[in-house]
Amino acid sequence: MHRAAFVLSLVALPALVATQASSPSAVPQTPAQICYGSPEASCNLIFQQCVASAQLWSSPACVAAATCAGLEPFLEALCCSTGQCLDPSSEPSLDYNVYADIVGPCAWAPGGCPVQPKDYVKFYYDTLLDAGSFDLPPVKTVIAWWHAIISWTATGAQSPYKNLNDWLHYSSPPVEQQQTNSANALPAESDPALPSATPVGPPSTDDAPPSMPIEPSSAPSAPASAQGQSQHLDVGHGGKDGHAHFHGHAQEDPSDGSDLMQALFASLQGNSSDSDPSSDSGPSVPSEPINPSGKAALARRSASASASAAAAPAMPTYNLPCGTGKYPNVCENWCYYVFCKQGGTDANSPAWEVTVNRNAGLRGASACKTPNKCSAKEKGTGGWTKNPTTDLSCDEQPKNTNDEGGAGAATRCVPKGENSGEGRTWANFINDKNAKIADTTKIKVVLQNPPAGGICASLHAGQKTVCPAAKKPTDADVAAGTDDGTRQA
């Protein structure tokens, strides 16, 4: 079977810092960016979120970052970027609330439930969406990471809480700063198919959910070979610079001859979200921007233009359902952008054009970057000292994967489930079942059944949007932990 190499390399910190200092055009990097060099961009982004969280197994970002890279490279990068060099076996257990977020309500049922492959894929995508990225890796890449974990846990295609918790504690030895045993180092040109490093020890096999709090089970003494042959890390320590260099591999296609894994892999192709498929990909015509400005303007699609539509090339259409139970708050955020930030006033067909652009710089300019106005971490005017609305997260429209997104987007605190659900719908749309819609492609966005009245009023005959003032709480509101509003801006 085809297997592709997954290489995670930790660059020499002094050398990289010196290179940046000598180059006037170099973009400054954070320690997290310097120490963590996965070729998978989403893994890098989630690691940066983990470092910012200052938590470990109570942080979804840290759990996701460890699973996409492997525990030991993750801990080495954490040691490099924060100075915290950990013995994983002594760390607190996986927060059961994080586990419950992965598997859903069945976590609290008698007997609990294990993590299924689809649960893990959804968890990784949700964590990435919460980090502000809609550029999701292919399902088969994410499943390869999961396959590496269950190869260690030896629990079939799924993993109960205690086994996943054991993986987080015993699949890596303690991490030390500036390890120097160069005899164990792998050269950079090493064959990625070399035999993998063995895990520290086999996990427990108790399927029952933990009683809280729970500590990891004692490190077992059975030989590592009991875990099978498919561990995903080759780790060498102590390059000549005194820093660690890591070379790991995961199977890009987890079909390894096992009927179970082949069936699992096939079942996950193109089926990683609950998105509503877009159905309208018919032709449309160019349109004028509502309010031309220095940055890319949003183009409005007029209903009266349909007569000449047949002459125009086909344009992909993203249908955004706004009705009850779908994405009404996200749709209102779109309307705020169109009518309140771009100056649109007339009542036309609720459709606009945006241009796909996955440039990471747009994420950095976004008002929804972490921490944001919906986050417990933003202090002072515009943020919380505590977050009484933990069910809200920050939505931006147009998204940071559009030319029109980034600094000029409309932002709103919306229910977390609505935000992540619509984010998965959009991500699946532009990635088109793992075949990405190319950057610079124009997309038609159609609001289906937009709310009557309110910010979307101008989309209905005889109504007109009245734009609310941009909402930020006062310092007194923040100190009191009040003002649970949408914070539309």
- The arithmetic mean of pLDDT across residues 8-13, rounded, is 28
Q: Looking at the chain, how many residues does it have? A: 489
Of residues 230 and 148, more confidently modeled = 148
Q: How confident is the model at residue 114 (pLDDT cuts 50, 70, 90)?
A: very high
Cis upstream peptide for 398 (omega within 30°): yes
Q: Does the pLDDT at position 241 exceed 90?
A: no
Written as six digits, the tokens of 256 are 């390894």
Q: Percentage of the chain with pLDDT > 70? A: 52
Structure tokens belonging to residue 351: 């459709």
pLDDT bin (cut points 50, 70, 90) of residue 242 is very low
Residues 109-131, mean pLDDT to the nearest whole number: 90
Q: State the Cα–Cα distance between residues 127 and 60, nearest whole angstrom.
A: 7
**In this model, does residue 323 exceed pLDDT 70?**
yes
Query: Looking at residue 472, what is its pLDDT?
Result: 58
- Output phi, psi for 352, to 5 deg: -140, 165
The residue with greater pLDDT, 368 or 208, is 368
- Comparison of pLDDT for 5 and 28, the residue scoring more: 28
Q: What is the pLDDT of residue 252?
A: 37
If you average pLDDT over each of 18-22, 286-290, 342-346, which comes out highest?
342-346
Q: Is the pLDDT of residue 356 over 50?
A: yes
CA–CA gap between residue 350 and residue 331 (Å, rounded): 10
- Cis before 213 (ω within 30): yes
Q: What are the counts of helices (DSSP H) followed by strands (DSSP E) for the chain? A: 14, 8
Q: How far apart are CA 425 and CA 273, in angstroms?
A: 7
Residue 371 Cα to chain centre, angstroms: 15
pLDDT tens track for 270-283:
333 333 333 333 33
Q: What is the pTM of this model?
A: 0.45
Task: Give residue 478's pLDDT band: very low, low, confident or very high (50, 70, 90).
Answer: low
> With 70 as the cut, is the pLDDT of residue 5 above it?
no
Q: For residue 481, what pLDDT is reported?
A: 55
pLDDT value at 147 more than 50: yes
Q: If pLDDT is split at 50, 70 and 90, which confidence band does 112 have? A: confident
* Angle formed at CA 67 by CA 430 and CA 200, multiple of 5 degrees: 160
Average pLDDT over residues 299-311: 41
By DSSP bridging, strand 245-248 and strand 233-236 are antiparallel
Q: What is the mean pLDDT of residues 436-459?
A: 84
Confidence (pLDDT) at 115 = 95
Amino acid at residue number 86:
L
63 compared with 79, residue with greater pLDDT: 63
Average pLDDT over residues 99-109: 89
Res 360: pLDDT:
60
Where is pLDDT greater, at 16 or 43? 43
CA–CA gap between residue 441 and residue 439 (Å, rounded): 5
* Average pLDDT of the residues in 334-353: 72
